[in-house]
Amino acid sequence: MANTQSSETTEYPLKEMSHNPRNAIERTIARISSRLARDGPSPRLLCQKARLLEKLGRLSDAFDNYSAAIALNVDDAKCRSLRAWLGLSIGRYALALEDFTYLIHRREACRSYLGRARVYREMHLYQEAQKDIFAAMRCDTASSIAHYELAQLYLEIHRFDDAVCELTHALAIERKSSYYYARAFAKCCTRSFPSAAVDLDCCESTGAARAEYFWLGGIVAYRLGDQCLAHDRFVTAMSDTRSRYAAECVLWCHCVGQLASKNERSEWLLEVADAGTQRSFDVVESWHSIVAREFLGLTTLSDAVLHLLSDDPHGVNGTAPVGLLLLWLGSNDLSRETAGNVLRSLDLTQVDSIYRSIIASYLDEDRTRPVSIR
């Protein structure tokens, strides 16, 4: 008798993974699809196919396959967990909430509470997020990530001192570069730059070498008056042209007066813009070309300001105020006054906390007041 295997137990290995992973995944998906077409729907195979689609970056297709698997077996906790985390990452919040809630009711666990808290945070339901993080802490009193997640929530609602406190708790449990970086960020938002510099040194000693570390390190050095160190860190961050921080670091170098010429600055910006376009980054799209033209002398700062705000007159997308701030820092007194007046009129709620703090500092205003959790 032939040895047959049920579709419910078949797992397809990824052959030749070390040689060409993407081709191996695509062939495996094709085999699973053929099996499904021949034998009919199988929750296990649909879930396996979804995981492979996720590896290829086909996230919407992956989500649909997870959903098809769950429709066949609503009690598949593993598949629900996978769909919940993917739903969080692609903005499918309703189903992500449903899945995390199912997992919590099935078995209370720190990870599930933290996942649902993240969904609530994305939906700006801060009170619900806070409750879930507290529940996660009760499930696992030694969870450093729970304190980190609470700190992220506090950062989002401008409770910077509380964020520093939670990150200190997290670091007491586990020393991680991401915790040091986050605490340095929070300290910058409270304008505690010397203390932030200490955390960044600790962050470096634990192995952090990402562009965001050098971006923040450059800002700290700039605020502490060390122009040379600021320049070195911004240049290091600029070297990763795919990073969302690269264009900002070009402008920061302009602020510290370390790039040799307007042409050099423009070339850097345009290189960053090309990399950003290829990767569909939208963070710098609204202002890099305007700044490049300003550096080349093809327009005035006032014209640059008008262009920066033309598509976003209230500054609500968060990019125009950043570009405007950096232009302002590197310009003459008259331009600073002009840009400062515009900055005062903008809605800064979507700007990174660090920039809200810096803008408030330069404008001598408190625009970083905490948001109440109701």
**Is 309 among the domain residues?**
yes
Higher-pLDDT residue of 141 and 340 is: 141
Determine which helix (DSSP H) or strand (DSSP E) holds 292, and give its type and residue range.
helix 288-295
| Predicted pLDDT of residue 181 | 92
Within this chain, do residues 67 and 81 fall inside the same structural domain, yes or no?
yes
Of the chain, the percentage scoring pLDDT greater than 70 comes to 68
Tokens coding 260: 């040799």
Residue 280 has pLDDT above 60, yes or no: no
pTM, rounded to two decimals: 0.77
pLDDT band of residue 48 (cuts 50, 70, 90) is: very high
Distance CA 318, CA 91 (A): 20
Looking at the structure, tell me whether residues 101 and 119 fall in a common domain.
no
Average pLDDT over residues 197-214: 78
What is the number of alpha carbons within 13 Å of residue 1 lying toward its C-beta?
3
Q: How many domains does the structure of the chain reveal?
A: 3
pLDDT of residue 210: 78
Task: Clarify whether residues 155 and 71 are in a common domain.
Answer: no
Instruction: Let me know: does 57 contact 21? Beta carbons within 8 Å.
Output: no
223 domain-assigned: no
pLDDT of residue 195: 96
Domain-located, residue 220 = no
The last residue of a domain, from among 177, 208, 239: 208
Structure tokens at 13: 């290995």
Residue 214 lies in a domain: no
Please tell me whether residues 75 and 168 are part of one structural domain.
no
* 254 and 203 in a common domain: no
Instruction: Report CA 157 to chain centroid distance, whole Å.
Output: 16
- Summarize the confidence of residues 172-177 as an average pLDDT: 94
Average per-residue pLDDT in the chain? 80
pLDDT tens string 147-157: 999 999 999 88
Q: Which residues, 6 or more positions from 186, have their beta carbon under 8 angstroms from its beta carbon? A: 151, 154, 155, 160, 163, 164, 167
Give the pLDDT score at 304: 65
Among residues 180, 185, 151, 149, the alpha carbon closest in space to that of 165 is found at 151
- Residue 325 domain flag: yes
> 249: helix, coil or strand?
helix
Give the count of alpha carbons within 13 A of 341, CB side only. 8
Q: Return the minimum-mean-pLDDT range out of 35-49, 314-328, 336-350.
A: 314-328
**Range 57-86 average pLDDT:** 95
If asked whether residues 233 and 276 sit together in one domain, one would say yes
At 191, is the secondary structure helix, strand, or coil?
coil
Residue 32 lies in a domain: yes
Which of residues 85, 107, 129 is at a domain's end? Answer: 107
Confidence of residue 134 (pLDDT cuts 50, 70, 90): very high
**1 confidence band (pLDDT: 50, 70, 90):** very low
Place 76 in a pLDDT band, splitting at 50, 70 and 90. Answer: very high
Does residue 280 sit in the same domain as residue 186?
no
- Which residues, in sequence order, are CB contacts of 363 under 8 Å at separation 6+? 340, 343, 344
Q: Give backbone dihedrals phi and psi of 63, rounded to 5 degrees, phi first.
A: -60, -45
Domain-embedded: residue 1: no
Residues 187 and 277 occupy one common structural domain = no
Residues 241 and 154 in one domain: no
Section 104-119 average pLDDT: 93
The domain spanning residue 97 has which CATH number?
Answer: 1.25.40.10
The distance from CA 314 to its chain's CA centroid, rounded to whole angstroms, is 23
**For the residues 211-237, what does the mean pLDDT come to?**
87
Considering only residues 105 and 351, tell me which one the structure prediction assigns the higher pLDDT.
105
Residue 77 in this model has a pLDDT that exceeds 90: yes
Which residue carries 């195979």 as its tokens? 45
What is the model's pLDDT at position 6?
A: 42
Please check whether residues 335 and 349 belong to one and the same domain.
yes
- Out of 13-17, 212-216, 277-281, 315-319, which region has the weakest mean confidence (pLDDT)? 277-281
Read off the pLDDT of each residue in 42-67 and give the average, rounded to a whole number: 94
Q: At what angle do helices 77-90 and 43-55 cross, to 10 degrees?
A: 30
Residues 172 and 154 in one domain: yes
Domain hosting 276: range is 228-368
> Same structural domain for residues 235 and 341?
yes
- Residue 195 in any domain: the answer is yes
The pair of three-digit structure tokens given for residue 225, joined into one six-digit string: 């008056």
Last-in-domain residue among 56, 77, 107: 107
